[in-house]
């Protein structure tokens, strides 16, 4: 992108520029073999940090989503087990209510009458 800037001499000059948000990606593309030996380690360190940041940004969100999905699955499995237990308890309650009705009917049928 061409930009016009004013030099120290007060004259206007056209310069090739890139937006600030692209500078870090542009720096990332530097080939460490094409820089002076004394700065090569810094370039490699910068690139390694960029790789780590990109990895954490993109894989980190995927990893978090996977963990969230696993938690959701575990909770759903627990709910299913509880629903199964609830169904079994409902059957037991129904059976016990039936037993209670039977006992009450027997008691009423076996009452002594005075006349």
**Cα gap 80→72, rounded to integer Å:** 12
Minimal CA–CA distance to 48: which of 27, 23, 69, 17? Answer: 27
pLDDT one digit per residue (tens) for the chain, 115 residues = 888 989 999 999 999 989 999 999 988 889 999 999 999 999 999 999 999 999 988 888 888 889 999 999 999 999 999 999 999 999 999 999 999 999 988 888 776 666 5
In contact, 84 and 92? CB cutoff 8 Å: no
Domain spans in the chain, listed from the N-terminal domain onward: 2-107
How much is the pTM? 0.46
């Amino acid at each position: 992108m061409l930009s016009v800037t004013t030099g120290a001499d007060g004259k206007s000059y056209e310069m090739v520029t890139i937006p600030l948000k692209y500078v870090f990606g542009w720096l990332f593309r530097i080939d460490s073999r094409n820089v002076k030996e004394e700065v090569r380690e810094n370039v490699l360190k910068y690139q390694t940090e960029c790789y780590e940041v990109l990895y954490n940004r993109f894989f980190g969100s995927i990893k978090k989503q996977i963990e969230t999905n696993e938690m959701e699955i575990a909770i759903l499995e627990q709910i299913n087990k509880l629903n199964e237990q609830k169904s079994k308890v409902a059957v037991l309650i129904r059976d016990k209510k039936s037993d209670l009705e039977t006992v009450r009917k027997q008691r009423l049928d076996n009452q002594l009458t005075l006349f």
